Amino acid sequence: MSGQDGLDGDPPEVTDLVRAAEWRERKVDTDPADERSARAARQLRKLAAELRPLGDSKLFAEYACVCNWLSESDGLSELQMRAHDFRTMLGFGEWAETGEDYLRALMAMAQETFGMQ
């Protein structure tokens, strides 16, 4: 969970995906032959679009609760670093097929950080 407000009212998790996609797109601008970065950028944008409507889901609420606990125990920064690394590696050894899969991956990271697994 990012510590900043989302773009255009998006949840921070969506904003983080969009920013990661933009970063990958800049890599493709530099090297148009970088198909892996292009594929990763498309997937990051797809995940962001699919994650937006999940803001009211039970899974998102559970994730938010764990993040709140982590923020009280100073574990949120560890989760943010792990989530950043995951987004950076999407298409390069890591993958999430859907927005829900991405949210489940964040939830697993949050639970591991909190010591629930």
What pLDDT was estimated at residue 7?
57
Q: How many CA atoms lie less than 13 Å away from 114 in the CB half-sphere?
A: 18
Dmax (CA) of the chain = 45
Average pLDDT over residues 23-41: 97
**pTM as predicted:** 0.86
Q: Is the pLDDT of residue 117 over 70?
A: no
pLDDT band with cut points at 50, 70 and 90 for residue 4: very low
Q: What is the DSSP letter of 6?
A: P
Beta-bridge partner residues of 90: 94
Sign of the C-alpha dihedral computed for residues 98, 102, 104 and 105 taken in this order: positive
Q: pLDDT tens across 54-108, in order?
A: 988 999 999 898 888 888 877 788 899 999 999 999 999 999 999 999 999 999 9
Q: Is the pLDDT of residue 3 over 60?
A: no
Alpha helices in the chain (DSSP H): 12-30, 35-51, 58-72, 76-89, 99-114
The distance of Cα 63 from the centroid of its chain, to the nearest Å, equals: 12
| Torsion from C-alpha of 40, 99, 20, 52, nearest 10 degrees | 140
